[in-house]
Amino acid sequence: MNAAAKSPIVSITNVTKDYTLGKVVVPALRGVDLQVHAGEFISIAGPSGSGKTTLLNLIGCVDTSTTGVVSVAGQDTQKLSERQLTDLRLHTIGFIFQSFNLVSVLTVFQNVEFPLLLQRKLDKAQRKERVMQLLEQVGLASHAKHRPNELSGGQRQRVAVARALVTRPQLVLADEPTANLDSVTGQHIIDLMKELNQKEGTTFIFSTHDAKVMSHANAVWRLADGKILDKLSAAEAQQAMAVGSH
Amino acid sequence: MLQLFLIAFRNLGTHRRRTLLLGGAIAGVTALLVILNGLSNGMAATMLRSATTLSTGHVNVAGFYKVTAGQSAPVVTGYPKIIEQVRKDVPELDYIVHRGRGWVKMVSDTSSLQVGLGGIDVQAEPGIRNVLQVKEGSLDGLAEPDTVLLFEKQAKRLEVKVGDTVTLSAPTMRGTNNTVDVRVAAVAANVGLMSDFNVFVPSKTLRALYQLKDDTTGAIYLYLKDLKQVQTVQARLRQTLAASGYELMDNDPRSFWMKFEVVNREGWTGQKLDITNWEDEISFITWTLTALNGLTGVLIFVLLVIICVGIMNTLWIAIRERTREIGTLRAIGMQRTRVLAMFVFEALTLGLLGTVAGALLGLAVCLSVNAADLSVPDVVAVFIMSEKLHLAVNPGSVVGSVLFITACTTAISLIPSFLAARLKPVTAMHHIG
């Protein structure tokens, strides 16, 4: 099915976001418009300070825009209460962080199981089955009882991927998921995300400034100085990056 | 919820040194509270046992007889009839005794003492044998007329031993002085303050000294099966005795010897009965318990404040260290209330572990002290009414100590926990530090 024909899972209209640092107002986003459809594998690219993380925070409902409309899974996030936003994150969105952000005192299994416990939809056996299935998928079933500090960076990020996907969210947001990994491990993580996108149909939006990483995306939204520059195919984006770097 | 407890428990384990330090402080305060409660309960139990056997019943029917308006004697006339009525009116009764009461000068060859005098029928006194520990002579010796039971301290001061004679001198109801020579039949171990101003003689000897009739006594002591019935029985007796035509004094919760001045100022003559309970009669020494409880309260309050500040500080540090974790958990869908619960559980777990350990430590100290049968200095013995240190372990008070301190530590954790829960996910996630 053509992704563009479906209703967008993320719709951003004329969004601005300002940060106030003392008496200085710093604009992070300046009138961004963007739509992402279900099943897409989207990259947001741009240099440091371009507004990638701010945009992901708004899509992820962990922050609110100064003006404009951010709609996720058909819900205008400005109109939702704090509790409703938390519920939306729990049931609709999965997060993968640059520095993994696992709970250090929990095992791999417990970290992945945690969002399911918050959801309270599955019983113990169902949770175990779901978690182990995902750990199999990310190749960490044998590490289920390990603590995060016993794992390598790549393994930790795979745990984070499993945690993000365990609730079967419609949308997964990944903020520079490969930034803290070596290139081979980073490649594995992107391959894993792509595989899950294709198998499960989960929508992925990830930020990166690595041309190799963005080559896997269906489309690349380029950001600069808080504005969307353009929407390119992966090949076009790579070409544009290559020109830019020369 | 289990997962939140698990996180709390493991976080405490991760910061072992901090946990041990704070948990140890909580355990120390709990142990102190258990021990001080044990001391207080022990004192109360000893006081109750000693005082209610030696100088008061659970409920007393006593009173004053006045020949003239300004001259009173602490006696009850026609006591057999009153005892008969009391037996009918008080089914809660365990046993009943009557004792003469007076204040005498006791003179030996070398010294003299002013003491309170108790006139007893030793064969009819089941309780006194349980409380008095006779060191010399025999309690049964008091069955013989003109004998006396002294306490060790008094015997030492008068420089007398069993078989020696001392003279008792007291004013009679008619205002003349009378004396009687009595033989020391027994010397008992000291029982704190009681042994400073109490000696016992047979009832007949006391009557002879004060020139009282056979149907006159000092007070009727009622011992109940259940101490909780004291107020009910006291109130009932006031009604039934008044209905039977006895004149009653207004309720005055003080010991009988503190009422002379008031009674002598009043204009009436003849017999008036005074219904009191054990607390009234030993009100002059229960201040020690009140003082100890007050001191315990102040000490525990100060220590609790220190611990609460420690808990708050520890949680502040924990929240600062785990701000990014809070942000992550909020981002993946944890509600604020659960973040609050997570940190409250941490304080609760720490509080519970600390207090339970402290309670066990306190119990161990109490049991060890009791097993060691420790003697206390004379000054302390006066107040605790015993030469031995006895810490009464009351399960309810131990559980109460655990719950109270746990509740305090948990309650204080609400402040930092609430602020942690209020953190915006985006701010918390990007916290550096």
Each residue of B96-118: b (16+ CB within 10 Å) or e?
A: bbbbbbbebebbbeeeebebbbb
C-beta of residue A163 within 8 angstroms of C-beta of residue A86: no
Domain A3-245, CATH homologous superfamily name and number: P-loop containing nucleotide triphosphate hydrolases (3.40.50.300)
From chain A, the residues in CB contact with B327 under 8 A are 62, 101
What are the backbone angles phi and psi of residue A201, rounded to the nearest 5°?
Answer: 75, 15
Top residue of B5, B7, B332, B424 to mutate, by most chain A CBs within 10 Å, is B332
A176 and chain B in contact, CB less than 8 A: no
- Indicate the SS3 state at residue A225: coil
How much is the pLDDT for B371? 92
Cβ neighbours around B22 below 10 Å, total:
22
Contacts of B6 in chain A (CB under 8 A): 105-106, 110
CA angle (B167 as vertex; B163, B172 as ends), nearest 5? 140
Average pLDDT, chain A: 86
- Tokens read off for B233: 């029985």
Q: What is the ipTM of this complex?
A: 0.87
| CB contact (8 A) between residue B11 and residue A105 | yes
User: Average pLDDT, stretch A37-66?
Assistant: 90
Q: Which residue of B has its CA nearest to A85?
A: B333
Chain B interface, mutation test: which of A84, A101, A119, most B Cβ atoms within 10 Å?
Answer: A101
A110 and B14 within 8 Å at the Cβ level: the answer is no
Contact B325 A104 (CB under 8 A): yes
CB contact under 8 A, A101 and B324: yes
Q: If you count them, how many residues does chain B have?
A: 433
Mean pLDDT over A65-83 rounds to: 92
DSSP secondary structure letter of residue A228? E
pLDDT at A246 over 50: no
User: pLDDT at position B315, please?
Assistant: 79
Judged by CB atoms closer than 8 Å, whether chains meet at B14 and A104 is answered as yes
Question: Which chain A residue has the Cα nearest residue B15?
Answer: A105
The pLDDT of residue B125: 84
**Nearest one of B235, B283, B234, B233 to B255, comparing CA atoms:** B283
Is A82 in CB contact (< 8 Å) with chain B?
A: yes
- Count CB pairs under 8 A between chains A and B: 72
More confident residue, A2 or A225: A225
CB contact under 8 A, B338 and A95: no
As a three-state string, the secondary structure of B16-82 is HHHHHHHHHHHHHHHHHHHHHHHHHHHHHHHHHHHHHHHCCCCEEEEEEEEEECCEEECCEECHHHH
Q: Where are the domains of chain A?
A: 3-245
Q: Name which of A225, A41, A92 is nearest B332 in CA terms.
A: A92
Q: pLDDT tier at A1 (50, 70, 90 boundaries)?
A: very low
pLDDT tens string, chain B, 433 residues long: the values are 777 778 888 878 878 888 898 899 899 989 998 998 888 888 777 777 777 777 889 999 999 998 888 888 889 999 999 999 999 999 999 999 999 988 899 999 999 999 989 999 988 887 788 778 899 999 999 999 999 999 998 999 999 999 999 999 998 877 788 999 999 999 998 877 777 788 999 999 999 999 889 999 999 999 999 988 999 999 999 999 999 999 999 988 888 888 888 998 999 999 999 999 988 887 766 777 788 788 888 988 888 888 888 888 887 888 888 888 888 889 989 999 998 998 888 889 989 999 999 999 999 999 999 999 888 887 777 666 677 788 888 898 899 989 998 998 888 888 888 888 888 888 887 765 5
Distance (Å, whole) CA A144 – CA A151: 11
